[in-house]
Amino acid sequence: PASTGPISVAEYMREVLTNPVSGYYVNHDMLGPDGDFITSPEISQIFGELLGIWCVSEWMAAGRPKQFQLVEFGPGRGSLMSDILRVFSQLSAPLGGAEMSCHLVEVSPRLSKLQAQCLTGDQSQVSTNEDDPVYRRGTTTTGLPIYWYRRISDVPQGFSIFLAHEFFDALPIHIFQKTEKGWREVMVDVHPETEDKLRFVLLPSATLASSTLLQTDEKRRHVEVCPEGGVLIQQLACRIVEDGGAALIMDYGHDGVKTDTFRGFKAHKIHDVLAEPGTADLTADVDFSYLRRVAGDRVTCIGPISQRAFLKNMGIDTRLQVLLRHCQDPSNQAQLIQGYDILTNPEKMGERFQFFTLLNHRRLTTPETGEGLQKRKGPAPLPVAGFSELCLR
Ligand code: SAH
């Protein structure tokens, strides 16, 4: 900021998190007990297993298309994908015949290496050509082709289930405040007295962002907007309309009511967002009302619903009982129960985390069968697993 004047919070976040040389995600393995934060897939295998069932359930409800791409954004250490792939290989009979493939969108070459170790047993090849949209490729330990990309536009078109767990919260936000003169943007600037310190400033005049990103009927006086999240939702909606499929977004967030959620995490503690940039994770709650508005009416949006409700609807209680029955070691049993509690307890991750899905309109309309005069209604569509109680047929 010293030479450029104040920068937006979004530019600051992008620079701190994903700068190719010094970015937080590029240089850190931030997940797990020794990292800065821990996520649901790292806490319990059940999380990924239930999501694996969700993916298969949506693929079946779409009429079992021949092509089945599983796409994950920001896969971290690869734990979620690994648990899902185990479920897929156990469900090889119902999945039989589908041409399955795995696609990961990840900015960090360092994390892509960890993901490849976890998912391919270190049998992956890095592209030597910088212009290649696929920067790493391999075969999963379960036998599926797997590819790594930097952005969604590089992922091939085709029927896809898209998953984003704790991904949207890492995308850059703009911050605005309502003043007597209208909306003004909060920016990051160097401190006038101490050059090596940063501070927030409120710009005296409007910016392009402050005049375009807010709703005219906005009731809050402080608002965070994530336009990159909006662009990603538009890209997902287009693909779901054109190629079929579904997207599941899982993150901490709210439905358009919260303010001032921008924060930092270092070693599992809250960290000043402006101090020692690049050493701590920066994050903001996801505003699902914004994502729904951007998706528009091209796709069906369901949610957000709480993680607790979603996992209960997916049968987490039954799954826990099955695992406990198969496990003799008391310390493993205790760990399973503790993981279940962290994921579902309303005081822990159960209520703060929300699930939101984008679906192709066809998914919830009753198909017409037969020709001409014989036209009649086909079977009613299957309920969307997780968002209503799962009927096991
Ligand atoms: N989904 C994992 C990891 C969450 S951390 C879990 O829940 O455990 C966020 C992940 O998104 C990391 O893998 C990070 O490298 C990646 N990421 C962050 N910003 C990104 C961007 N703009 N494009 C692609 N990947 C990004």
Is residue 28 lining ligand 1, measured as CB closer than 6 Å? no
Q: Give the model's confidence band at 3: pLDDT under 50 very low, under 70 low, under 90 confident, else very high.
A: low
Residue 24 contacts residue 190 (beta carbons within 8 Å): no
The pair phi, psi for residue 279, each rounded to 5°, is -100, -10
In our burial notation (b when 16+ CB lie closer than 10 A, e otherwise), range 269-298 reads eebebbeebbebbbbbbbbbebbbebbeee
Total number of domains in the chain: 1
- Domain CATH for 286: 3.40.50.12710
Kindly state whether residue 63 falls inside one of the protein's structural domains.
yes
Is residue 45 lining ligand 1, measured as CB closer than 6 Å? no
Q: Give the model's confidence band at 31: pLDDT under 50 very low, under 70 low, under 90 confident, else very high.
A: confident
Q: Is the peptide bond before 346 cis (omega within 30 degrees of 0)?
A: no
Question: What value does the CA radius of gyration of the chain take, rounded to a whole number of Å?
Answer: 22
For 274, the domain range is 21-174+226-361
- From the DSSP assignment, how many helices (H) and strands (E) are in the chain? 13, 20
Q: What pLDDT is recorded for position 381? A: 85
For residues 192-219, give the mean pLDDT: 94
Q: Tell me which amino acid residue 222 is.
A: H
Is residue 75 lining ligand 1, measured as CB closer than 6 Å? yes
pLDDT at 367 over 90: no
Kindly state whether residue 241 falls inside one of the protein's structural domains.
yes
For residues 65-70, give the mean pLDDT: 98
Residue 259 contacts residue 222 (beta carbons within 8 Å): yes
For residues 55-67, give the mean pLDDT: 96
Between the CA of residue 91 and those of 86, 154, 302, what are the distances in Å? 9, 29, 26
Find the 384 Cα to ligand 1 centroid distance in Å: 26
Residue nearest to ligand 1 atom 21, measured at CA: 107
Kindly state whether residue 110 falls inside one of the protein's structural domains.
yes
Point out the ligand 1 atom lying closest to the alpha carbon of residue 72.
1
Q: What pLDDT is recorded for position 379? A: 80
For residues 156-166, give the mean pLDDT: 98
Find the 167 Cα to ligand 1 centroid distance in Å: 5
Q: H or E stretch including 282?
A: strand 281-283
Is residue 155 lining ligand 1, measured as CB closer than 6 Å? no
Q: What pLDDT is recorded for position 375? A: 73
